[in-house]
Amino acid sequence: MELTDTVRDLIERPTVRSHAIPPHMQVMTTLRILAKGDYLSKVADIHGISISSSSRIVHTVFDAICSRLHNIKFPTDPAQQREVNEKFYRISRFQNVLGAIDDTLIPIQAIAGVDESNYVCRKQFYAINVQAIADADLRCLHKTGGSLQFNPPKSCKMIGACFRLNNKALKEGIPLPDRENQIQIQHHQHILEEDQHNEGNRIRAQLIQR
Residue 24 or residue 44, greater confidence? 24
Q: Is residue 44 pLDDT above 90, yes or no? A: no
Domain boundaries, the chain: 2-68, 78-209
Amino acid type, 44: A
Return d(Cα 174, Cα 126) in angstroms, integer: 33
- Give the pLDDT confidence of 114-137 residue by residue, as tens digits: 788 888 888 888 888 888 899 988
Concatenated DSSP letters of 27-60: HHHHHHHHHH---HHHHHHHHT--HHHHHHHHHH
Say whether pTM exceeds 0.95.
no
For domain 2-68, give the CATH number.
1.10.10
- Give the pLDDT confidence of 145-169 residue by residue, as tens digits: 555 667 788 888 888 999 999 999 9
- Give the pLDDT confidence of 171-199 residue by residue, as tens digits: 988 877 665 555 454 444 444 444 444 56
Concatenated DSSP letters of 82-116: HHHHHHHHHHH---S---EEEEEEEE-----STTG
Q: What are the backbone dihedrals phi and psi of residue 68, each rounded to the nearest 5 degrees, phi first?
A: -100, -30
